[in-house]
Structure 1
Amino acid sequence: MSSPIAHILLIEDDLRLAGFIANFLVNNGYQVTHCACASELDLKVQSSQVDLILCDIMLPGTSGFQLLKEARKDYFGPFIFMSALSDVENQLHGFKLGADDYITKPVKPELLLARIKAVLYRQQGRDNKPEDKSLSIGNLTVNQESRTVVINSERLKLSRHEFDVLWLLALNKNKALTREYLFLNITGKEYDGLDRTMDGRVSRLRKKVNAYENAGCKIRTMWGKGYMLSTGAEF
């Protein structure tokens, strides 16, 4: 049985470049939907199953950065920036917002294809699609529908905010999530650089989860990177 064709949503206002990229990806076995501006995004994401978003940053009416914030309300899959903005500051900002990769233009088609394949391959190991309501990591089970957490067959009591943090960490196991990413995806607001509320929530959650020695996973602080739910040899 053949694997399903991955659906890529391309957001690029340069129509000539978009056409070239779309044709190249289609010829390499992908389904491609193109948006020239952010106003089309909500309809495209909600009306079809999107496996990866490839997005320019300098777009008419908005920026790719703002678009990523809006997309995360309905879309939780891989997101790659592709931009002529090659300075370190913009690249770091993109990753802080939760981008899976940042590709600078001009880019060779073969390299673009390799980066897309790498991100999709990593995604196969994550249970992070919206329809997945329960995640089991080691001896930890997190159920989004019932908002319950069980470790070693014991129910773990968490606040509403602690559960939201754990769910995001579980969706991205073995991947460091920045304070900015957690703040944006839980509160819906961009981090102002001063609020330490998220640090307190993670700290309380870490104490509760890490108290179980045989849980098969631990919450770690990755200095300079963020927080991670680690499994196996990762912790």
Structure 2
Amino acid sequence: MQVSNQVESLVEGSNIALIVEDDRMVSTLLKSYLEKSEFFVYQEHLGESAEQAVANYQPDVVILDLGLPDIDGYEVCERLRKSYQGPIMILTAKDAEQDQISAFFSGADDYLVKPVSPAILKVRAESLIRRSKDSQQKSYQRAKQVGNLKLDVSAHKCFVNDVAIKLSSFEFKLLNLLVDNVGRVLSRDRIYNVLLKRDYNGTERTVDVRMAKLREKLSEFGLQHAQIETVWGQGYVFNEIGSPHLAKH
């Protein structure tokens, strides 16, 4: 696709900005200034096109006007926030306190009132991007990996062969507990105490059913080099294949 080729051809280190602004003169002015500062800038003039633009361009920051002609800017912000994790900067003529409060509740990260100096907008955008990338890096550093299984703990996401697997909240917590104790047997008592905050009564099958479902999902997506094993009379252990479990509690 042309979009993909454009993004791939960016100079390494360039930031990508998406400006969603119906005032074409303002949008062009900001685009020109940001491009002089090593930004790569895309423009959209309607709220309806913002979501697709974010999906296409994967911007490092979205600069969003509230007074769009087709959709309320607050709604656009809420829609973007459902899938977009980067910073959203509001740029608007609305200066009332309630407008600012509503914008932040809609998912905005910063709020600038027109008219604003392009230089101020640039440094604020760069600050948002820097903090966002630092946060992503810290999240990456907290990722856990066993074989071809990866867990992003802060985002509650699981990947097998770099493909995301949809897990329930409990399934993710269960897998995370197993990964934190690779090679160690986890008794049902411990699993119930840690995840359900109560004792195992000796007959309940809640964890067993969830464990079976978790195994099924991991197997379906091709988990290799690790597996969940049942240790009869003791509990469960997450083992790297070829590495016998340590049978610790």
Same fold (TM over 0.5): yes
* TM category, shorter: 0.5 to 0.7
Shifted more, 44-53 versus 56-65: the winner is 44-53
- AA aligned to 2:96 is D
The structure that has the greater radius of gyration is 2
Matched residue, 1:26: 35
1:11-48 CA distances to partner (integer Å, 9 max, x unpaired)? 00001111101100011110000000112223212222
Count of residues in correspondence between the two structures: 152
- Structure 1 pair 141–53 and aligned structure 2 pair: CA distance change class (3 A): closer
TM-score of the aligned structures, taking structure 1 as reference length: 0.58
Distance 1:58 1:30 in 2: 24
Residues 1:6 and 2:33 aligned together:
no
- Structure 1 pair 68–157 and aligned structure 2 pair: CA distance change class (3 A): same
Matched residue, 1:144: 157
TM-score of the aligned structures, taking structure 2 as reference length: 0.55
- AA aligned to 1:75 is Y
Moved over 4 A (4+): none
The sequence identity of aligned pairs, in percent, is 24
Matched residue, 2:116: 107
1:94-145 CA distances to partner (integer Å, 9 max, x unpaired)? 11222110011110111111111111111121128xxx8x7728xx962412
Unaligned 5+ runs, structure 1:
159-235
Matched residue, 2:147: none
User: How far off is 1:153 after superposition?
Assistant: 2.6
Matched residue, 2:78: 69
- AA aligned to 1:136 is R
Instruction: Select the residue among 153, 160, 180 that pairs with 1:153.
Output: 180
Distance 1:50 1:114 in 2: 16
Contact 2:81–2:107 (Cα < 8 Å) also in 1: no
RMSD: 2.8
Distance 1:33 1:123 in 2: 19
Matched residue, 1:200: none
